[in-house]
């Protein structure tokens, strides 16, 4: 069986305005059951611009274990309009 590609989809846009909009949603969100962007929380610990060391390590382990061929991380505005 071929190794799958794992997609991480961010509920935010990749632009500067998208990052600012996400920051606003993150800071004003009061509902812990509906995070502004769960993928952002996992990979960047919320409002940080760089990936966390923990996520980088987990991503490398996931690929080296053979669980996935690659991990693609995409923002809403980077998805194909299909």
Dist CA 14 CA 78 (whole Å)? 7
Dist CA 40 CA 51 (whole Å)? 9
Ramachandran region of residue 46, left (φ > 0), alpha (ψ -120 to 50) or beta? Answer: left
Q: How confident is the model at residue 29 (pLDDT cuts 50, 70, 90)?
A: confident
Q: Taking 50 as the threshold, does the pLDDT of residue 3 lie above it? A: yes
Dist CA 29 CA 47 (whole Å)? 13
Question: Can you give the pTM of this predicted structure?
Answer: 0.81
Q: Taking 80 as the threshold, does the pLDDT of residue 65 lie above it? A: yes
Q: What residue has token string 């060391």?
A: 53
How large is the average pLDDT for residues 30-57? Answer: 89
Q: Taking 70 as the threshold, does the pLDDT of residue 82 lie above it? A: no
């Amino acid at each position: 069986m071929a190794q799958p590609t794992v997609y991480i989809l961010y509920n935010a846009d990749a632009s500067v305005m998208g990052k600012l909009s996400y920051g606003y949603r993150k800071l004003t969100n009061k509902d812990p059951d509906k995070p502004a962007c769960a993928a952002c929380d996992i990979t960047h610990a919320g409002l940080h611009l760089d990936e966390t060391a923990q996520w980088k390590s987990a991503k490398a382990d996931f690929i080296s274990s053979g669980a996935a061929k690659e991990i693609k991380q995409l923002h809403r505005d980077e998805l194909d309009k299909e």
